[in-house]
Chains A and B, each alone.
Chain A
Amino acid sequence: MAEDLVLHEPFEEAARQRIAVPFGVWSFLATECLFFGGILLFYAYARWHGGEAFTQGAKEAAVWYGTINTAVLMTSSLTMAIAERATKGGFRVVARWMLGGTLMLGLSFLVIKGFEYRKDVHEHLIPGPGFKFGQGPAAQFWAFYWTATVTHAIHVTIGLGIIARLLWIERRGDLLLHATSAQGGALYWHLVDIVWVVLYPLLYLVGRP
């Protein structure tokens, strides 16, 4: 494992190079936290001020789609964690299958999300002309819903791109040399999942005892 590491340009020491990618990704995760922090502040404001009307809007969210998607994404977190460990431990086959599994689960998340969007559109849940509730806090809930979930979906897509790249590296046959890339990718994927874990109750469980 670690002994196979090939030193590349700026690094003089293997120990340093091995932590570089995770270190960089961790710093970037701090960025992501503040990024989503901004929109969560908007949610806090709107829910605090919107009261009952806000909750009324939230009850329209498709809780089944949301729940299934939560399960899908959590499972993908598990497969990703296994893939990362397998890469570290040198188990190529396990790593390949688990990366493939993560990719499939991530894709199904997006597909399910797409069906949910279709249902939302049919039920006139896009704020604007023809919106089910008219102007008011319910519209703010749905403004949050669309902005937050689309932003999250973009993150999922980027994550899938990273996983696809890891799979491609695996096909090339040198995934084990890129163990730190797998670690970085896994960190990012877990962030995407955690963001969803935060969004799920905010979107689907409001006003449902």
Chain B
Amino acid sequence: MNSDPTRGGIPERGAEPPSYLREGTTVRSWLTTTDHKRIGILYALAITFFFALGAVAAALIRAELVTPSGDFLTNDEYNQAFTLHGIVMVWFFLVPSIPATLGNFLLPMMIGAKDVAFPRLNLMSWYVFMAGGLLALFAILAGGVDTGWTFYTPFSTLYSNSHVLLAALGVFVVGFSSIATGVNFIATVHLLRARGMTWMRLPLFVWAMYTTSLVMVLATPVLAMSLLLVVAERAFGLPIFDPRSGGDPLLFQHLFWFYSHPAVYIMVLPAFGVVSEIITCEARRRIFGYQFMVYAMVVIAVIGFMVWGHHMFVSGQSAFASMVFSFLSFVIAVPSAIKVFNWTGTLYRGQIRFSAPMLYALGFIGLFTIGGLTGLFLASVPLDVHLTDTYFVVAHFHYIMVGGSVSAFFGGLHFWWPKITGRLYSERLAQFAAISMFFGFNFTFFPQFIMGTMGMPRRYHDYPPEFQPWHVMSSVGALVLGFGYLWPIFYLGWSLFRGERAPANPHGATGLEWQTRSPPPKDNFDRLLVVDQEPYLYHPKESTPDEVEQAHAKQKP
């Protein structure tokens, strides 16, 4: 597992099998493939489409908010726009983003396997995803949904006049593709690690995928059931949450957030994995505190199931429940902070290359830190009562999910682009994209923290004029952010056809996925792998001064 070409390099021979891209080039060969790498690409194409769809909705929202009065969207249309944005971005982009694309592509390679444990199930999960996506798309074309992405009862079940059923079914169906991916990844990590690849030698990206999969498998079914209950009440009139029969709409909120808080970790744990890979490689350093990085992810995955009540502080749940949920929400910040400190520790005395993936990764650390710290504001009951349903909340979760996860997704996409496509992209143009995304993001969402504390409520398009400057700032920022997203399409697209051929290991990284050709052959490796080292050996042990050598250096008082 090091970058020494004699160990990992593949001899140039005419007889070697073709790359996975050349094993069949017909559309049919792609649609019936069971190759995890191709399925990753199928997913990437699908989520790119949904990302564009969600981005259009976001653009509509930001354009509408430039002036305090309603301009071109009616109240209903505005509701539909933010509902569409939320549903599409959460379930059809963010949840599958890193796991289903980079995860599918890289997980088997990183552990030295030929494929995931159940290749056909993997392909099926993509078709299930597409089926759910079509249902949601159909709901949008039929006239949209106006409940917000949260489907709160009793509005969603008794009062809304929009296509709640179709959208809920779409999300229900897409949940099964998450579950299939989760089951597949768990089995893959347990059963298909190469000889010598022990648990504590797994790259952190693999640990991230493993913990994410656990959350997917255990949380998604609860969402499925809560949506099923919504369907039962709305379509068949069965009184489940209906207060007139003694039902409690809050039960829905409990079920929904029991999934949807862990879902935040489905979206951000994979980002942790990506960032750990990039930072170690681009700083040429071993990860600081490998074991703590692993335990932190496991702890986050577990405690993530116990904090859902912080979404319900103003719902009327008991004060005792609020206190417990508040406390646990503070507790879960600890492992997240450990990760941030350890990434920073990894940078210490590293030889940092400010390449595009590294810029995305460093951006991730900053934005995730802001998102995490503002999360503590919201975890505290008295502050949350003030800030609930304001733009502060909107800004907070966008910092985690867009600033955090999407930055990491773009970082990972750039980092592994040479491996996936076999081509190099223009480093300059990519750095420019990373920087514009960082600035655009902050211009868009930082003003929202300020408006939020001033009392600007979310989900209104008609607002008091004193908030206008902040909204204008935010909308202009969104333009820059949009540029940051569109720009990569051009240079990455160009690199696909005209880019320089990538060598096997352009970054000099240590992961197993770099020890094979770019792009890899269908079976990933041309030989059987045996692993005899821990990951991230970017510098030999004992080669650095004590204060850098983290392994077992004596602590100075």
Residue pair A37, B238 in contact (C-beta under 8 Å): no
Q: Which residues of B contact A137 (CB under 8 A)?
A: 245-246
Q: Which residues of B contact A50 (CB under 8 A)?
A: 246
Contact of B73 with A by CB under 8 A: no
Q: Mark A1-38, 1 if CB is under 8 A from B, else 0.
A: 00000000111100010011001100110111111111
Binding site for A on B (CB under 8 A): 34, 108, 113-119, 121, 179, 182-184, 186-188, 190-192, 217-222, 224-226, 228-229, 232-233, 236-240, 242, 244-248, 251, 254-255, 528
User: Range of interface residues on chain A?
Assistant: 35 or more
Q: Which residues of B contact A45 (CB under 8 A)?
A: 248, 251
Q: Which residues of B contact A20 (CB under 8 A)?
A: 117-118, 187, 191
Residue pair A136, B217 in contact (C-beta under 8 Å): no
Main secondary structure of the interface of B (DSSP, over half): helix
* Docked CA distance A142–B247 (Å): 13
Determine which of A24, A34, A49, A142 lies in contact with B187 in the assembled complex, contact meaning CB atoms within 8 Å: A24
Residue pair A140, B245 in contact (C-beta under 8 Å): yes
Q: Which residues of A contact B239 (CB under 8 A)?
A: 127, 135, 139-140, 143
* Docked CA distance A42–B241 (Å): 9
Main secondary structure of the interface of A (DSSP, over half): helix
* Docked CA distance A36–B229 (Å): 11
Residue of B nearest to A31 (CB): B221
Determine which of A16, A31, A34 lies in contact with B192 in the assembled complex, contact meaning CB atoms within 8 Å: A16
Q: Which residues of A contact B186 (CB under 8 A)?
A: 27
Residue pair B222, A37 in contact (C-beta under 8 Å): yes
Contact of A67 with B by CB under 8 A: no
With most chain A CB atoms within 10 A of its CB, the pick from B184, B222, B246 is: B246
Within A135-188, which residues are at the interface with B (CB < 8 Å)?
Answer: 135-137, 139-140, 142-144, 146-147, 151
With most chain B CB atoms within 10 A of its CB, the pick from A34, A49, A146 is: A34
A selection of 11 A-B contacts at a CB cut-off of 8 Å is A10-B114, A11-B191, A20-B117, A23-B190, A35-B224, A39-B225, A42-B240, A45-B251, A49-B246, A135-B239, A143-B245
Q: What is the distance, in angstroms, from B81's C-beta to the closest C-beta of chain A?
A: 30
Determine which of B108, B245, B251 lies in contact with A139 in the assembled complex, contact meaning CB atoms within 8 Å: B245
Residue pair B221, A34 in contact (C-beta under 8 Å): yes
Residue pair A39, B229 in contact (C-beta under 8 Å): yes
Residue of B nearest to A133 (CB): B245
* Known contacts A20-B117, A39-B229; A140/B192 CB under 8 A: no
* Known contacts A23-B191, A146-B238; A41/B255 CB under 8 A: yes
Residue pair A34, B113 in contact (C-beta under 8 Å): no
Contact of A46 with B by CB under 8 A: yes
* Docked CA distance A10–B118 (Å): 8
Residue pair A10, B113 in contact (C-beta under 8 Å): yes
Residue pair B245, A136 in contact (C-beta under 8 Å): yes
Determine which of B34, B182, B217, B238 lies in contact with A143 in the assembled complex, contact meaning CB atoms within 8 Å: B238
Residue pair B117, A27 in contact (C-beta under 8 Å): no
Residue of A nearest to B246 (CB): A137
Residue of B nearest to A8 (CB): B119
* Docked CA distance A16–B179 (Å): 22
Residue pair A42, B119 in contact (C-beta under 8 Å): no
Contact of A201 with B by CB under 8 A: no
Residue of A nearest to B240 (CB): A143
